[in-house]
Structures are given as C-alpha cells and as structure tokens.
Amino acid sequence: MSHQFHSTVLREYDIRGIIGETLGPDDARAIGRSFGSMLREAGGTTVAVGYDGRVSSPTLEHALVEGLTASGCDVVRIGLGPTPMLYFAEASAEDVHGGIQITGSHNPANYNGFKMVFQGRPFFGADIQRLGERAAAGEWLDGAGSAEERDVFGDYIDRLLAGLDGIDRSSLEGLRVGWDAGNGAAGPALEALAARLPGEHHLLFTDVDGNFPNHHPDPTVEANLADLRALVAEKNLDFGVAFDGDGDRIGAIDGEGRVIWGDQLLMIYAEDCLARHPGATIIADVKASRALFERVEQCGGKPLMWKTGHSLIKSKMKETGSPLAGEMSGHVFFADDYYGYDDALYAGVRLIAAAARLGKSVTELRTAMPAMVNTPELRFQVDEERKFAAIEEVKARLADSPDDVDGTDGVRVTNSDGWWLLRASNTQDVLVARAESESEEGLARLVAQIDEQLELSGLERGESVGH
C-alpha cells in the first residue's frame, strides 16, 4: 500500500486542495497513516482531531481517523470547532502528542485541507514533504489504535475568558461590541464566549454554513467587513471583530468604521504586553508597517521582522522567547499568558483587555496611530519556477543600493519615501508586493521602484490577482 498526493496539495504551512479534484478521503487516510507513523517513531501515541464547518469536513475526518488508528495511534475526536480549539486540545492535555484540524481556512467553499501540530510544535515545510515521501513509499507503521470522543468546548471557552483575568469586570459593563463569525467554524464558540463576556454583544452569522451564504470569511479583505461596519454604525458600538473561516485570524474595525489592520492590532497588543514584559521581543512579518516596529521600540520592546507564514512565526517565537507576534494577515500569537498559537477568539478577548488596561477606547488607540498611506497587498501571477529566481535577481541588483535592503523574506527596501516589499508566496505561483509611505507622492515613487525591478526581470505587475 502507498499513496501519491496531487502535486499541488502539499503546501509550505499545511495541506490544501479542491475537493473531488485534488483532495479526497484517500488523501486524508494517507495523511493519517504517515503522520501517525511519524508521531509513533518520535515517541507519541495520541492525536487530537477536529474539523471546520465545510460540507466535506466530516467525510475527511472519518478517513483521517481511519488512517491514524491504522498506524497504531489513538485518536481524541473533539468534533466541529475553530482551529484554535484543536490547538488548545493539543496544548492543554498531557496525554495528547499531536493534533490535526481539517480546515480550508479562508479558501472558497470547495477547498479543504489539514493544519497539523506535532509534539507541541508546528508541522510544516520539510515535515509535510517528508509526509508525502512516506505516503508515496508506503512507509507506514501498522497498528490498531482506538478512537474516543472528548468534549473540550467548555474548557476552551473558560480558557478564552481567562484573557480578562486581573481586570475589573464592572469597568467593562458599558462595553458594546459587534462580532462577525462569517458562518465559519468559530460561530458556536463565539456565542458561548459572548454570553459570558461583560458588556453588550451583537453577533452576526454564527450559524456554521460551509457554503458561506453571507460573505466570504476572510477579514483581511475590506469588502468582507461591510456587514460588521454597518452593524457598528447602526448600533453605535465601540468596535467590531471579525473572524476567518476557521477562527485563527482576526479582523477589526473601530467605532468610526475604520479598519484596524493586523499590524495596527499588534501595535495595541504590543503596548499592553510590553507594560508587563519590558524589553521583550515582539515579532511581526515583513509585510507589517514601519509604524509598528517604531511603536515597539517606543514602548521599550525589541522589534523583530520575520518571514511571513504562521508556522514560521510560531517557530521563531519559541526560538526567541517572544511573548507576542503577529502578521498582516490577522494571525496574532500570544505566548503571554497563553500557548503561543494563533487564536482569533482569544485575540478578541485580549483587545478588550488591552483597551481596559491602557485606559483608552479602541477608537482612541486607532486614532493615535500615525497616518500612513499604503498599497493593499498586491499579488500577481508568475511561473512557479520563476518566482524565487526573480527575487534573487532583485536582491543582486540592489546589492550596492544606498537604501536599506532587508532580505529576511524576499526584498524589503526602506528609504526616505518609506518602504516597499517584493516576496515570493510560499503557497501560490504569485509574487506579493506592498509599499507604504507618509505621502501619496512618496507611495507613487515606491511603487515605481517595484515596477522597475519587475521590468528588469522581464515581469509585469499587471492586474493584481486575489488570494
């Protein structure tokens, strides 16, 4: 017995594909066989398994559990819930050594996939490639593991609420917040959480529906925040919070309807965190605003710019002992009084806590941020075999540049106008560009520099493609 995966599904950070075309139950079974074998060889025996609200998820879950038990692993089935609930089940139980969440994250409804944790660390990159190699070779252990159902939902909600520990709850009674679950897997957990939070809470789209009938659950796309913005305006709420399809990425708007982007949320969290952890390292990805890195320094912290990708950021946090990290995409990681993984529900609670501790409303905190002008994330198609080579060409051309050139992840160039970034996506055949300045004129000059570099490598920026 062996199994060959479709060439497109083994990604850098997870496994993902189109149901019925590139991904199905046979793949799930093979993932279980390979992951289970690798875990047993590393001394583990038990895997927690959860799934999101996609129509295909229960079928994949059934096949995955078959594969895991056939490799000799025992399985703890936690059922439908957000990805961070699976992370919680793995991190908080001593008898669980790995975890797999079946989720298509923020992809369209016909996608699905798998996010994995291996003995407390992200399972990605070379791990995923090795899993594919073992499946192709049929290099599997045999066994007869058992499967049990475990209800972690209540413990998970209790743990989320602990994010308000130490805060006078009576001071929050006047709080009024809007929440949008986007029909994703976080809906039921959000309902249970909001029922126990102080203040008044207005919820949108908490019914789990894998067809996403109201809007696509990706809070990094401003159009998807329209319903939340309307709710905040209509009810005159303090702020609003939105989640992606599996609840590990947060989006937010303030009381005036302004988007609070991922790096801006991190500015709020960092100020709060550094008051209790002076001098700590705060990590953000290369797409984050210069204003964030400057704010971390102002608050006495050590800013660290790192590679984009939730698995890469989590690994860097462990390495540096950082209590807080985040990405432009809305992944926020709290190791400060939490487990160091990305949990948008917990991030929502911590936004309430940060505003309370800092003594300012979320709107006031957003207003105090420097006004930057920036491009959205520009993504454009380039041949898979060309994308990394093109970045290396840009780096070589800028080797003697008077500008500050950072090669942490792609090329980030800082000069008097601001900064621009060009990097290759690890998950798609696209290059990603972004630029930020304090003026429209400066921004135009930065974008022109991106265009010039692309042209020198025989590429055109052309039309930006979605993600």
- Does 162 share its domain with 144? no
393 lies in some domain: yes
Query: 3-state class of 208 per DSSP?
Result: coil
Give me Rg for the CA atoms of the chain: 22
More confident residue, 48 or 466: 48
Is 200 in the same domain as 290?
yes
Asked if 341 and 423 sit in the same domain, the reply is no
Local confidence band at 467 (pLDDT 50, 70, 90 cut-offs): very low
- pLDDT tier at 136, thresholds 50, 70, 90: very high
What length does the chain have? 467
- pLDDT value of position 462: 59
Please name the amino acid found at residue 6.
Answer: H
pLDDT by residue (tens digit) across 248-280?
999 999 999 999 999 999 999 999 999 999 999
With a CB cutoff of 8 Å and minimum separation 6, the contacts of 405 are 395, 398, 399, 411, 412, 413
Boundary residue ending a domain (151, 180, 210): 151
- Distance in angstroms (rounded) separating the CA atoms of residues 118 and 199: 38
Tell me the CA distances in angstroms from 456 to 171, 383, 392, one per residue in order: 58, 16, 12
Judge if pTM exceeds 0.75.
yes
**What is the tally of structural domains in the chain?**
3
Is residue 466 scored above 70 in pLDDT? no
Do 196 and 295 fall into the same domain? yes
| 464 has a pLDDT exceeding 60 | no
Whether 432 maps to a domain, the answer reads yes
Does 162 share its domain with 118?
Answer: no
| Residue 464 in domain | no
CATH code, 97? 3.40.120.10
3-state secondary structure of 93: coil
Enumerate residues 6+ apart whose C-beta is below 8 A from 251. Answer: 219, 220, 224, 225, 241, 242, 243, 244, 259, 330
Specify the pLDDT at position 243.
Answer: 98
Give the residue from 151, 172, 206 where a domain finishes: 151
The answer to whether residues 443 and 308 belong to one domain is no
Helix (H) or strand (E) holding 386: helix 384-397
pLDDT in tens, 376-414: 888 888 988 899 999 999 999 999 999 999 999 999 999
Establish if 442 belongs to a structural domain: yes
Q: Which residues pair with 100 in a beta bridge?
A: 49, 116
Report pLDDT digits (tens) over 86-132: 999 999 999 999 999 999 988 888 999 999 999 999 999 999 999 99
Residue 466 resides in a domain: no
3-state secondary structure (DSSP) of residue 147: strand
CB atoms within 10 A of CB 293: 20
Residues 201 and 280 in one domain: yes
pLDDT of residue 377: 85
Segment 11-25, tens digit of pLDDT: 988 999 999 999 999
CA 280 distance to own-chain centroid: 22
Contact 89, 160 (CB under 8 A): no
The CB density around residue 133, as the number of other CB atoms within 10 Å, is: 12
Is the model's pLDDT at 463 over the cut of 70? Answer: no
Q: CATH no. for residue 408?
A: 3.30.310.50
Q: Which range among 22-26, 90-94, 370-374, 424-428 shows the weakest confidence by mean pLDDT?
A: 424-428
Average pLDDT over every residue of 200-221: 95
Kindly state whether residue 240 falls inside one of the protein's structural domains.
yes
How confident is the prediction for the chain on average, in pLDDT? 95
CA distance 19 to 210: 13
Claim to verify: residue 402 and residue 302 sit in the same structural domain: no
Residue the block writes with tokens 């905040």: 232
Query: Residue 58 sits in which domain range?
Result: 15-151
pLDDT in tens, 213-230: 999 999 999 999 999 999
Percent pLDDT > 90 in the chain is 91
Which DSSP category does 430 fall into?
E
Instruction: Examine the domain organization and report whether 390 and 339 are in the same domain.
Output: no
163 and 140 assigned to the same domain: no
Mean pLDDT calculated for residue range 447-466: 81
Last residue of a domain, one of 97, 116, 151: 151
Give me the active site residues, please: 105
User: Distance between alpha carbon 65 and the CA centroid of its chain, in Å?
Assistant: 25
Identify whether residues 132 and 163 lie together within a single domain. Answer: no
Residues 369-408 as b or e (16 or more Cβ within 10 Å = b): beebebbebbbbebeeebbeebbebbeeebeeeeeebeee
Tell me the C-alpha distance between 265 and 259, whole Å. 10
Assess whether 255 and 395 both reside in one domain: no
Asked if the structure places residue 9 within a domain, the reply is no
Residue 42 belongs to some domain of the structure? yes
